[in-house]
Structure 1
């Protein structure tokens, strides 16, 4: 019987974290994992990914919770919780009764007599079983929002990384275009050309530094977000009673991590007035006007 129970428990265990499933998902090949474990593992590997169990390619993008597995895990957790609640270690030292009530205000387990006492009577109470599932669901909901922030920040980090590498090339190309324009003008514009190129280099360097700073902030935010996500995942894996007693301010800290998400730099060189190029454009405009007037005159003579 114990052997059968062990096999049953193994089927409800994630191969990545070796704990009971938390928000289990089943991928294309049929293997199942905790959603948070799978997400974190997926981001640490290549885009064209494979199942860590059978090495088959993962084509699926949207993963739904395996409700059957989740309910089976809940049943096992409840059985383990009931076993603990009925144990001698969980008896009230004053009333010698099982502590099956959770006090949300003081985050402690109480027996029925203690929960109605003057000390705890005005506090918020519920069964340990109900409290554990409520807290775990709150964690999962928070993790869902947090993961969206992780993905958003990763996308921005990719954009900023590419922009940082491309910016120097863009500034060089812009400089070559300016030189080409000035080379067609008279030598008197040489000083103006140098001033314009120097300003281009100065602005280009300032914006390049902004890109690097932004990329560094996003990389740091990535560490914070993933670290918080991992902490939430580990809290979800804790046994019910331990989860309740250690819950603390984890939701508030998770919310604080998502504040002030760094955004990509909107780079744009300031418009620089180039008198030489303006004069050239005015000459071209004058020629066009003269040609237009000549055509009008010719048309009238006809």
Structure 2
């Protein structure tokens, strides 16, 4: 009976997606619960609307932590940790006592007497249960930070794809505009027109090539970030005994990966002059001597001053009339 109850309890704390104990459990609108990371990964390649993996009901992007389930999972993990520590292989050989102290410097388990020894006395110590919870919190924060970078990279990739299409359309429109201007100004300058178009096309193709290179880098970055995220997820599902052995190298790789994010490139074309355009506009210029401009400026200022004076009532006149 007790065994059946334990199995039923364990089943309720199992994620349907990864089939492991829930990690940072979230409950969606239909009431079913999954690992937060499992939902993130499962919905990435699914076109909206996104549905529950169990009942197929639609749910939104916002995910809320199930606090009760999270506490229950912590209790189960702590009980599993205590069971592992009570085994013979985890007992102190010297003092034949259970190792319940965690040494943060050496990242090893110690019995109370060993933690007070000359070798470890100056080190930071804490109960293994507390150290395990802290390590799990660090891991979940790292996963949150990494997933934000996954989303940022995906948004940049989608923007780069849209920009490539828009840039191609813009080059076509720019070419039409250039041809229109040449036909209006110089119908006979065919050679200059083609040189201008060719220069614009070459520059536009260079930008397109940069966009393709940037897109390739983002696709590769997406792969690396997802692999790193899956590695962190796999580690989060390990028992606390394994989790405490050290994740510093994994954290360093994750943080380093987040620092080097490919950024969208700026798209622009140089404004090449159209032959004869300036000469055509010069015929509409009007030269005004500087003294005349100065005189006009003074007259305008004087007119504005007089206008302000004429519309400003005199204080004594108002008082007299009233």
| TM-score after normalising by structure 2 | 0.84
**Alpha-carbon distance between aligned partners in 1 of 2:130 and 2:189, rounded to the nearest angstrom:** 80
Q: Retained in 2: the 8 A contact 1:132–1:243?
A: yes
Secondary structure in structure 1 of the residue aligned to 2:51: coil
**Alpha-carbon distance between aligned partners in 2 of 1:185 and 1:30, rounded to the nearest angstrom:** 70
Q: Size of the alignment, in residue pairs?
A: 286
Equivalent residue, structure 1, for 2:182 = 182
**Alpha-carbon distance between aligned partners in 1 of 2:122 and 2:77, rounded to the nearest angstrom:** 30
Equivalent residue, structure 1, for 2:312 = none
Residue 277 of structure 2 is aligned to residue 277 of structure 1: yes
Residue 109 of structure 2 is aligned to residue 145 of structure 1: no
Q: 1:74: Cα distance to partner?
A: 0.7
**Alpha-carbon distance between aligned partners in 2 of 1:246 and 1:14, rounded to the nearest angstrom:** 25
Larger mean CA deviation between 91-100 and 23-32 belongs to 91-100
Equivalent residue, structure 2, for 1:207 = 207
Q: 1:216: Cα distance to partner?
A: 1.1
After superposition, give the CA deviation of every residue in 1:21-73 in whole Å (9 maximum; x if it has no partner).
11110001111000011111111211211111011111x32211100000011
Equivalent residue, structure 2, for 1:291 = none
Equivalent residue, structure 1, for 2:95 = 95
Equivalent residue, structure 1, for 2:13 = 12
Q: 1:188: Cα distance to partner?
A: 4.1
Secondary structure in structure 2 of the residue aligned to 1:33: strand
After superposition, give the CA deviation of every residue in 1:127-149 in whole Å (9 maximum; x if it has no partner).
11111100000111121121111
Equivalent residue, structure 2, for 1:73 = 73
**Alpha-carbon distance between aligned partners in 2 of 1:277 and 1:8, rounded to the nearest angstrom:** 81
Q: 1:232: Cα distance to partner?
A: 1.3
Secondary structure in structure 2 of the residue aligned to 1:126: strand
**Alpha-carbon distance between aligned partners in 2 of 1:47 and 1:192, rounded to the nearest angstrom:** 51
**Alpha-carbon distance between aligned partners in 1 of 2:263 and 2:48, rounded to the nearest angstrom:** 24
**Alpha-carbon distance between aligned partners in 2 of 1:183 and 1:258, rounded to the nearest angstrom:** 52
Equivalent residue, structure 1, for 2:169 = 169
Structure with the greater alpha carbon radius of gyration:
2
**Alpha-carbon distance between aligned partners in 1 of 2:101 and 2:223, rounded to the nearest angstrom:** 38
**Alpha-carbon distance between aligned partners in 2 of 1:107 and 1:77, rounded to the nearest angstrom:** 19
Residue 100 of structure 2 is aligned to residue 104 of structure 1: no
